[in-house]
Chains A and B, each alone.
Chain A
């Protein structure tokens, strides 16, 4: 890893990018004047601040003592995100039970070599618990099973 590749330079670049992105995406916002601020006044000011702070942070990354980035692993990141998204996209069309199974199946991919049985059993227990607590107990507007078409 090159020396400039550390927590500070990357964080600085990230803030710089977010700030610049905000400035570009918000270029059509109306800034207005101090006594009649438009909707863009404060957000664009925040973006400029982020750009400035980003530069400052990145500059700090040039020091020798800047902390290195701990290596991460892609698998848990993707699996957990997929589990949440699977839930989000199956809940309304297919109901909470399917959503739980979909989510549990995705989550299990976070760790290699998990037998299907050890995913399905907890998913069934979890489904029953969720149905009992949220649907029957609290009466949340969730439907248990796929919605009637049409």
Chain B
């Protein structure tokens, strides 16, 4: 929430107001506003060409965050912003623009000046789901952005109410089939990762449950209280509760075992082919100059190698994953492919 977009370098420009002839008549006022504006615009155009990529960055960088402050993605973004700021020697400030499934923030990022001073912290919901659920196509996820690098993958975790006595994914599938779908699957809302990950499990595991959408994080307490029997949620939000015995974890959504979640099986071990995890990465407006993209990329690579960043990421159960721009783009393409299929199957799309 705290950024400087453009440093107030030309504060002296405010002066024209002072020199304006002292007019008493009311009508003069509108002219004053207009002329101030004109003067200031004129003054600012001349400074433009001064910024050469070699000296990038000269001022704080704004990182668009299409998620609410305090959300899981926001927390990851703040860790990255802090480290990247220290690497580049300029503050990287988070600009939270949640709303419209994240498309608001993405759009602002896309339309920003492509000078490297605006970058976007991207994750699948805003980049690969929301544009296909909404009636208007707010942006083209593949064509409108320059892909810098992914920073990590965060698994989701399948949690169940402990008192059900379920011990494995197979137990859950069996119980759901026995109950003929009279079970509740909590999600963080229609089209959320939690919903899509759950829907994928229902379809690959061939069982039924009633989808009970919640607003964001409230899905987890619903599993705790037993109102819903199961839910798939980002690992960071449920790890504390799993350790505390308030919910039971049956598996995670990475394709295979991971050192981040020791002892926890992958859902794919029971339901072959199952995989649904969230990557996070940094993208920039399409026309950002290549040398600046490269500078950002090297800064991010160095950030992700920092000791404190690695340990903070581990605490978020996030596996660090760096990719080349081409790999990143392919990843986005694949994710869109999977999600569009799910969105269609769930009849979520707007038309």
Contact = CB atoms under 8 A, between A and B. Distances in A.
Interface string A111-150: 0000111001000100100010001101111111111111
A102 interface: yes
Nearest to B95: A141
Interface stretch (B32-40, B198-206, B328-336): B32-40
A139 B8 contact: no
A94 interface: yes
A116 B29 CA distance: 8
Given A101-B33, A117-B22, A120-B17, A144 B8 contact: yes
Interface residues of B, number: 36
B47 interface: yes
Contacts of B6: 143-145, 147-148
Contacts of B60: 139
B347 interface: no
Given A98-B37, A116-B22, A139 B93 contact: yes
A139 B3 contact: yes
Contacts of A127: 14
B350 interface: no
Contact of B44 (A124, A131, A145): A145
B4 interface: yes
B10 A145 contact: yes
B33 A141 contact: no
A148 B113 contact: yes
Interface string A43-87: 000000000000000000000000000000000000000000000
Nearest to B13: A145
Contacts of A124: 14, 17-18
Interface string B96-116: 000000000000000001000
A95 interface: yes
Interface residues of A, number: 31
Given A98-B36, A116-B24, A139-B93, A148 B3 contact: no
A148 B42 CA distance: 9
B18 A116 contact: no
Contacts of A115: 24
A116 B28 contact: yes
B210 to A, nearest CB: 10
B36 A101 contact: yes
Contacts of B55: none
Contacts of A135: 4, 8
Most B CB contacts (10 A, CB to CB) among A136, A138, A144 go to: A144
A105 B14 CA distance: 16
B8 A149 contact: no
A97 interface: yes
Nearest to A112: B26
Nearest to A35: B210
Q: Closest 5 CB pairs between A and B?
A: A144-B8, A141-B3, A139-B2, A146-B40, A143-B6
Interface of B: 1-6, 8, 10-11, 13-14, 17-18, 22-24, 26, 28-30, 32-33, 36-37, 40-41, 44-45, 47-48, 60, 62, 91, 93, 95, 113
29 contacts: A94-B37, A95-B40, A97-B14, A98-B36, A101-B17, A105-B29, A105-B30, A105-B33, A109-B26, A116-B28, A131-B8, A135-B8, A136-B8, A138-B2, A139-B4, A140-B1, A140-B4, A141-B4, A141-B5, A142-B5, A143-B5, A143-B8, A144-B11, A145-B6, A147-B5, A148-B45, A148-B113, A150-B48, A150-B113
